[in-house]
């Protein structure tokens, strides 16, 4: 984040809070863009469409996110729900890319 963005503990106004949230949202979109880049790479690398959906890996990714949430003191159920949606969206994206590469 930019040096003029305050840490949450340092915010004194709603403008400070909103600036921090907006900056984090921009970073999140950038990170998600990179994450979906990895999904594109997976679609390119995987030779069998049946391997796109990997329930064991999905469970591992969600468990890792939940553990991190617990360590950081954020609501585990919220993170679990968010990651479930993120992973499912990632799988759908990977299927789309896999099919497009081979059509």
pLDDT digits 0-9 by tens, 42-79: 999 999 999 999 999 999 999 999 999 999 999 999 99
Distance, CA of 1 to CA of 66 (rounded, Å): 24
**Residue 4: per-residue pLDDT:** 82
Tell me the mean pLDDT in the region 77-82: 98
Dihedral sign, CA of 66, 33, 44, 50? positive
Q: Which fold is adopted by the domain 8-101? A: Chorismate Mutase Domain, subunit A (1.20.59)
- As annotated, the binding site includes 18, 35, 46, 94
Distance, CA of 39 to CA of 17 (rounded, Å): 33
- As annotated, the binding site for substrate includes 18, 35, 46, 94
What are the C-alpha distances in Å from 18 to residues 1, 5, 7, 23?
13, 10, 12, 8
């Amino acid at each position: 984040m930019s040096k003029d963005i305050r840490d949450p503990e340092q915010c004194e106004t709603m403008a400070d809070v909103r600036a921090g949230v907006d900056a984090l949202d921009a970073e999140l979109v950038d990170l998600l863009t990179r994450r979906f880049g990895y999904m594109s790479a997976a679609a390119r690398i995987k030779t069998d469409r049946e391997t796109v959906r990997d329930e064991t890996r999905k469970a591992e990714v969600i468990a890792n996110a939940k553990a991190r949430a617990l360590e950081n003191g954020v609501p585990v159920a919220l993170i679990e729900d968010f990651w479930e949606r993120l992973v499912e969206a990632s799988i759908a994206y990977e299927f789309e890319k896999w099919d497009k590469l081979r059509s």
